Amino acid sequence: MAQPKKLMRALAGETLDVPPVWMMRQAGRYLPEYRATRAQAGDFLSLCYTPELAAEVTLQPIRRYGFDAAILFADILLIPQALGADLWFVTGEGPRLSTITGSDGLAKLKSAEDVHEHLAPVYETVRILSRELPSETALIGFAGAPWTVATYMIAGRGTPDQGPAHKLREEDNATFEALIDLLTEATITYLSKQIEAGAEVVKIFDSWAGSLKEDDFRKYALEPAKKITSALKAKHPGIPVIAFPREAGDGYIGFAKATGADCVAIDNSVSAVWAAEHVQKDGCVQGNLDPKHMVTGGQELIYETRRIVKAFSGGPHIFNLGHGITPDADPENVQIMLDAIRG
Ligand code: CP3
């Protein structure tokens, strides 16, 4: 029998001498081979919806660095598009979507079970990857968390403070909650299909969880993550789930237990020593090197990498950045980080 993959062992709660490692946005613009394939596809969305090319860019960082996991190449905004929202990307600025400002906009969306035809190319990418990945590399599927996806659907773009989403939450809570519920159901069925196609782990990205406070954090970050996790585990017993309630701060404490997630991904606004004490005591954690070190490099990159490995060495840990690697990162710094972890 094949040895269980290192990433799966950490997710099962094993403390490893050398932690498994991968990076958020590991397939991305900092790599020349990614830029070449993206140019071949024409634009970012065509890359997402062309299975052979999406699989190719997923594999590029695995070939170059031998990460312990590959993450499906797609985007959290494909779900709104599958539900009927318009989506396009403005070069140098980011995503744009048609906006949901009230119940009429919500009524025009499709139902959660109707997303699959649109998303079929994503499932095909997963099938290709599960055939082509090296046997030691785990395949991670993913989706955006309902709150984070809703912030883009309501504002029609990324926002610094998620103001329009908070406004709808306050002024038309019924529409807001119906949107969260629709996204929760769509996410369950989307991730379930990714698992059926060959994803071995799924990750839920709640990039804007930090702007939800107190009871709103519980209702709109924690509860949807719990619903998604329990529905997936009921349908696919044993499937590991990584939750990423980014910038949750104290909200990281107890998040795994409360949602049933197997691992909590930690951003770089909290210290590794703090997270080891308060979050890792409940199980596996992922993180949390500041992505800026991939740009600046040098001794500090090595020092910080080793410090994080050491801080989390008493329990299950997946080494990662606290957020995605940026386009200005130096590919050589990634190798320096890997040598500091594995060497
Ligand atoms: O991590 C990976 O390598 C897997 C693929 C992946 C992408 N986006 C590819 C991508 C994943 C997991 C995401 C998640 C995602 N997308 C999030 C959550 C994580 C986070 O970063 O907070 C969010 C908020 C989005 C929405 C999104 N997609 C934005 C705001 C942007 C524009 C900003 C930017 O970085 O350009 C994207 C575009 C995007 N998604 C790119 C990539 C590689 C860059 C597109 C390009 O090639 O031009």
pLDDT of 325 > 80? The answer is yes
Average pLDDT of the residues of the chain: 97
- 205 CB within 6 A, ligand 1: yes
- 25 CB within 6 A, ligand 1: yes
Q: How confident is the model at residue 2 (pLDDT cuts 50, 70, 90)?
A: low
DSSP assignment of 256-308 = HHHHT-SEEE--TTS-HHHHHHHTGGGSEEEEEE-TTHHHH-HHHHHHHHHHH
Is 198 contained in some domain? yes
Report the pLDDT value the prediction gives residue 92, as an integer from 0 to 100: 87
Report the pLDDT value the prediction gives residue 324, as an integer from 0 to 100: 98
Q: How confident is the model at residue 120 (pLDDT cuts 50, 70, 90)?
A: very high
- Residue 14 Cα, ligand 1 centroid: separation in angstroms? 30
Q: Is 12 helix (H, G, I), strand (E, B) or coil?
A: coil
CA-CA distances (angstroms) from residue 274 to 75, 156, 271, 331? 31, 36, 5, 29
Is 89 contained in some domain? yes
CATH number at 221 reads: 3.20.20.210
Q: How confident is the model at residue 343 (pLDDT cuts 50, 70, 90)?
A: confident
Is 235 contained in some domain? yes
Is 1 contained in some domain? no
pLDDT digits (tens, 9 = 90+) for 52-96: 999 999 999 999 999 999 999 999 999 999 999 999 999 889 999
What percent of the chain lies above the pLDDT cut of 70? 99
Catalytic one among 34, 152, 190, 252? Answer: 152
- Residue 235 Cα, ligand 1 centroid: separation in angstroms? 28
Q: Which pair of structure tokens corresponds to residue 43?
A: 């634009």
Is 138 contained in some domain? yes
Residue 308 belongs to domain spanning: 6-342
pLDDT of 110 > 90? The answer is yes
pLDDT digits (tens, 9 = 90+) for 239-292: 999 999 999 999 999 999 999 999 999 999 999 999 999 999 999 999 999 999
Q: With contact defined as beta carbons under 8 Å apart, do 55 and 49 qualify? A: no
Going 263 to 264 to 265 to 270, the CA torsion angle's sign is negative
Q: With contact defined as beta carbons under 8 Å apart, do 217 and 211 qualify? A: no
30 part of the active site:
no
Q: Is 88 helix (H, G, I), strand (E, B) or coil?
A: strand
Q: Which of 23, 76, 125, 207 to mutate to test the pocket of ligand 1 (most atoms within 8 A of CB)?
A: 76
What is the tally of structural domains in the chain? Answer: 1
